[in-house]
A and B are shown apart, each in its own frame.
Chain A
Amino acid sequence: MKAAVVVFPGSNCDRDLAVAFEQAGFDVSMVWHKDSALPEGIDIVGVPGGFSYGDYLRCGAIAAQSPICKAVIDHADRGGYAIGVCNGFQILTETGVLPGALLRNAGLKYICRTVDLKVATSESVFTQGYSAGDVIGVPIAHHDGNYFADEETVRALQDQDRVAFTYADNPNGSVADIAGILSENRRVLGMMPHPERAADEGHGGTDGAAVFRALAGMVTAA
């Protein structure tokens, strides 16, 4: 089982994400933003949180144009698995791998605390370790986590069961309380909350670990 985690200048959750993958049983390679290819034979690529390129211009905008992101887009286009957390989610929307965009939080404040997330669907390799309707505690830490998409896109996400997580008590103004979404083929997950920061007893909660355990289960079963 192999995972790759991309490292951009300004990434700060790359090691957390790598550790969460490792604890679930993956061999993890770190991949530098200037690399133009992902390692051979990886099962999943992780795009971590942080402040890639200082969030200059827009969160994730410059990272989305980096050489490695072209490889990530190709990987996703080929049907590969990918997870983007926080800044990684912003990057995946900027690349067009996932629809919508992330705006400044409606309350204008940077928010850093554990929030209750509702699992909206268990029909994905990322969320199959939960039951739809489960409420889990996962930390958020963002200034631009206000998910926005036009009405038509939101309706499509809902109709196609592609909303992965919603906020129980919307902290940032996200449309339809959306905290995480799936790609059309359900193989790419983007989410603002940090499951990798709730994957070990030392984190004060392990509600996020099921995401990584389920991914490992998928690979083992394949």
Chain B
Amino acid sequence: MKARVHVMLKNGVLDPQGEAVRHALGALGFDKVEGVRQGKVIDLDLAEGATEADVTAMCEKLLANTVIESYSIELQ
């Protein structure tokens, strides 16, 4: 099984990298961009028998810092 984990800074937490990207897009003339948030994608190759609950535990323990980040899991 494969799992894709998306980790994003929570809403309300300043994302300076996203802001920098937004400015750069604006400078390139893409003036219809009102906001950019930058996160990360982590792909996991899982062994037989792994469950979504396992991936959730991984997110809670290591992959996301839930003080500042939210995560979502896509199983493939």
Contact = CB atoms under 8 A, between A and B. Distances in A.
Contact of B16 (A65, A93, A100, A104): A104
A149 interface: yes
B62 A107 contact: no
Given A101-B67, A148-B67, A106 B14 contact: yes
Nearest to A64: B62
Contacts of A104: 16-17
Contacts, number: 39
Interface residues of B, number: 12
Contacts of B63: 57
A101 B17 contact: no
A103 B14 contact: yes
Interface in B13-58: 13-14, 16-17, 20
B12 to A, nearest CB: 9
Q: How large is the interface on A (under 10, 10 to 19, 20 to 34, 35 or more residues)?
A: 20 to 34
Contacts of A99: 67
A108 interface: yes
Contact of B65 (A58, A107, A150, A173): A58
A94 interface: yes
A29 interface: no
Interface string A146-165: 10111000000000000000
A55 to B, nearest CB: 13
Interface of A: 57-58, 61-62, 65, 93-94, 99-101, 103-108, 146, 148-150, 173
7 contacts: A57-B62, A62-B62, A65-B62, A103-B13, A105-B16, A148-B67, A173-B16
Interface of B: 9, 13-14, 16-17, 20, 61-63, 65, 67-68
